Structure 1
Amino acid sequence: MIHLYTGNGKGKTTAAFGLAMRNAGWGGKVLVIQFLKGLPSGEVLSASKVGIEVRQYGTGKFIRDYVDEKEYEMAKKALEDSREALRSGNYTLVVLDEICVAVHLGIIKEDDVLKILSERALSTEVVLTGRYAPRSFYELADYVTEFLDIKHPYTRGVTARKGIEF
């Protein structure tokens, strides 16, 4: 089945890694492909210790208005890697982290994502994460969870904290 974790609230990637941990705990083979991410995080460090494979495709720079050409190149590689992983049938769970943001920014095409999802091995569970999910992802997904931004310390000037936000 396909899971969609979207919305402006905190916790989409964390929830996806939680499901990855659960799947790996039962002997599943898990792959997390991270679009637009290139820095270490607690999830990535922990995943390697329990046999969850994580591949990052991003410069590690925070994207605001301008998208560096290197991000486009890396996202294209991530999409091709995603296609191969989903088709292979080698994984019980594949997480496409921040793929919704990559689509929203125009770095990859919505139709290309829909195509690779339609070509996947049916034995592979898939999680799509990121803000700004297109309506088509909502329609395709079997599970849809929206994370709401009700209150966050960022609004009080608290910066990201190691082990909590990354």
Structure 2
Amino acid sequence: MKKGYIQVYTGNGKGKTTAALGLALRAVGHGLRVLVIQFMKGERQEGEVEASKKLAPLLTIRRVGEKSFLSREHLDEGAFEHARIGLDLACRAIKERSCDILILDEIILAVDFGLVSLSDLLGLMDRKPESMELVMTGRNACREILERADLVTEMVERKHYFTQGVSAREGIEV
């Protein structure tokens, strides 16, 4: 890839991770190496993790989250440690240029929760190699992130069946 850009998928609507993973699938189809680092996702085995095993070594997914869903009110040292591990993995991928596309799933939410410092993320964005695509997802992207991005897509929830009590479904949401 000659020129890599910075993409942001944000907003309160469904589809941020799905959009990033769709991009990853397309890239793998063209022989590009993709590293996905998932922040705050927990240990639940979601479909994309299983699928990535079939697409290795071109697609690698690394999860760096707690065992269960995190809330802003219940952050512990483990949550901060997992976020540091994820950020270190991302910094190493950038330094070593070990992938063509680096997807930092939910890193924007990790910044919003205070698990990753904004200055650390902005520094990582600034160090991105010219030829690497950087994709970041998560709600509540701040102005500084949006200004540095080349592409910003905001997912807006208009209607969602979760509000009617429908749980996440295997193969669709997980």
Tell me which interval the TM-score lies in, with the shorter structure as reference length. Answer: over 0.9
Q: Deviations over 1:124-156 (max 9, x none)?
A: 101000111111111111110000110000111
User: Aligned match of 2:40 in 31, 36, 42?
Assistant: 36
2:8 corresponds in structure 1 to 4
| Uncovered stretches (5+) of structure 2, i.e. residues with no partner | none
Distance across 1 between alignment mates of 2:142 and 2:67? 24
Distance across 1 between alignment mates of 2:147 and 2:67? 31
User: Aligned match of 1:124 in 129, 132, 139?
Assistant: 132
User: Aligned match of 2:101 in 93, 116, 120?
Assistant: 93
Trace 1:53-132 onto structure 2 (pairs within 5 A).
53-64=60-71, 65-132=73-140
| Uncovered stretches (5+) of structure 1, i.e. residues with no partner | none
Trace 1:146-165 onto structure 2 (pairs within 5 A).
146-165=154-173
Q: Is the 8 A contact 1:14 1:43 kept in 2?
A: no
TM normalised by structure 1 equals: 0.96
**Count of residues in correspondence between the two structures:** 166
**3-state SS of paired residue (2:74):** coil
Q: Which amino acid aligns with 2:51?
A: S
1:57 shift after superposition: 0.3
Q: Which amino acid aligns with 2:136?
A: L
Q: Which amino acid aligns with 1:90?
A: S
Q: Deviations over 1:74-114 (max 9, x none)?
A: 10111011111022222110000000110000011011001
1:68 shift after superposition: 2.1
Q: Which amino acid aligns with 1:24?
A: V
Distance across 1 between alignment mates of 2:52 and 2:102? 13
Distance across 1 between alignment mates of 2:164 and 2:13? 16
Give every structure 1 segment of 4 or more consecutive aligned residues whose post-TM-superposition deviation is greater than 6 Å: none
For the aligned residue pairs, the C-alpha RMSD in angstroms reads 0.9
TM normalised by structure 2 equals: 0.92
